[in-house]
Amino acid sequence: MTGAYPKVNLSGKPQYLIWDIGQVNFATLDLNLLRVLDALFSEGSTVKAARRLAMSQSAVSGALSRLRHALDDPLFVRQGNRLVATDYASGIESGLREEFERLEALLAPPATFDPRTAEGTFRIAASDFFAELLMPPLGDRLQKLAPKLRAQLVDLVPNDYVASLERRNADIALIPDLKLPDWVNREPLFHSPFHVIARKGHPKLGGLQQGTQMHMDTFCALHHVLFSPEGNLAAMGDAALRRVGRQRQVAMTVPVFSGVCRAVSESDLIALVPAQLAKKVAKTFGLHVFEPPMSIEPALIIGIWHKRSDSAPMPTWMRRQVFELMKGLDLDS
């Protein structure tokens, strides 16, 4: 079996790929003729079919003639004032109507989206930073506005965050700003500066008041735990140190922020973490928060999604909820 599908060209005349089934050659069949056939089934009259299709009777008769030739069957015989379908035509009538209904459903515009009754799953690829700062308020919002929608937080693809949209089947990914391929859309969400965290009672920080800037020598002398899903031994903080000719001591890497905070809370390690996270978890983990000794450009966090989902009702609504919550994290807002 080969297929034939109409192609649109600027002349307005249909062109066709080959599709042969049995004796029917769709390479020479104008598929608009099937609309005429469907109208003739419904109306039983070329006059009424013409009126229904806003065509002339002669045009409908001509279409019927071409259908008879293409399908090698009379299709209708006259019985008084009415056209009666042949046995062959009767055999394809219901199937033809079903195909038209399927096409109408396929091509119909999306139904109005109602979050109160909508069902579905929305996948968010992001670090566990967002388990703390996004998922609790998002869960509360969905319970109130869209109780049948489900949100899933999944891991980013290491070293290729954009690939999360395909390989994690994610509806959006929340990532630091970077160059994107042309099939991806982006939305700036918030800037994330960095703070230093250390456990309360740290023996080397007893005289340092919380919220003040940590001295460079102290920062470089203490051992650090680094957030790195990929296991890298350097990050933005190390690049900032190199610019002033200094270096820190990374003692371990952890792939999740919760693990970084836990390691700091139960040791004399310190860490650089996003300021919003430090503020959120300081009390829970028993941490003190300090300003870093060097200037670090705040990371711009963006939301990205595949352009194919631009107009899909549920993903569009969910993106708006997520992005509203995330923009509220900007420390300047």
Q: Exposure pattern of 313-333 as b/e (b: 16+ CB <10 Å)? A: ebbebbbebbbebbeebbeee
Which amino acid is residue 324, in one-letter code? E
Residues 264/288, Cβ–Cβ less than 8 Å: no
Residue 261 to residues 31, 131, 210, 267, 285: CA-CA distances in angstroms? Answer: 65, 14, 17, 10, 7
pLDDT of residue 25: 57
Question: If you average pLDDT over residues 132-149, what whole number do you get?
Answer: 97
Mean pLDDT of the chain: 89
Task: Please give the structure tokens belonging to residue 79.
Answer: 């019985």
**Rounded distance between C-alpha atoms, residue 248 and residue 90, angstroms:** 83
Q: How confident is the model at residue 227 (pLDDT cuts 50, 70, 90)?
A: very high
**Rounded distance between C-alpha atoms, residue 328 and residue 333, angstroms:** 6
pLDDT of residue 32: 84
Q: What is the pTM of this model?
A: 0.71
pLDDT of residue 20: 39
* In the predicted structure, residue 14 carries a pLDDT above the cut 90: no
| Cα torsion 154, 156, 162, 168: sign | negative
